[in-house]
Amino acid sequence: MLFMMPRLVAGAHWASDDYMGGIAVALLAMAWGFYTPLANAGSRMFLRLTAPLFRVAAHIPVIRQMSLVKHY
């Protein structure tokens, strides 16, 4: 949605114009984000920020049974 905003402001008001015009910018941004050290840094930061949440969730009986929480 963020990458469609320049097209909306420029006057591309049809959904197909927004999606097809914005997809090139979105693919470029995803390529830069996923295939550079930026993805690794973002993933490590996300894990560091959510680790306390998972530690707390591991003490709740129903959530403790979920496979995502079992690793902590």
Q: What is the DSSP string of 8-60?
A: HHHT--SHHHHHHHHHHHHHHHHHHHHSSHHHHHHHHHHHHHHHHHHHHHTTS
Q: Residue 18 has what pLDDT?
A: 64
Structure token pair of residue 55: 């530690």
pTM above 0.75, yes or no: no
Quote the CA–CA distance of 61 and 13 in Å, as a whole number. Answer: 49
Note down pLDDT in tens along the chain; length 72 residues: 666 666 666 666 666 766 777 777 788 888 887 888 888 898 899 999 999 988 888 888 887 777 766 655
Q: Residue 3 has what pLDDT?
A: 61
Q: Residue 66 has what pLDDT?
A: 79
Cα 56 off chain centre by? 23
Q: Residue 45 has what pLDDT?
A: 95
Q: Residues 35, 36, 37, 39: what is their CA dihedral angle, to the nearest 10 degrees? A: -50
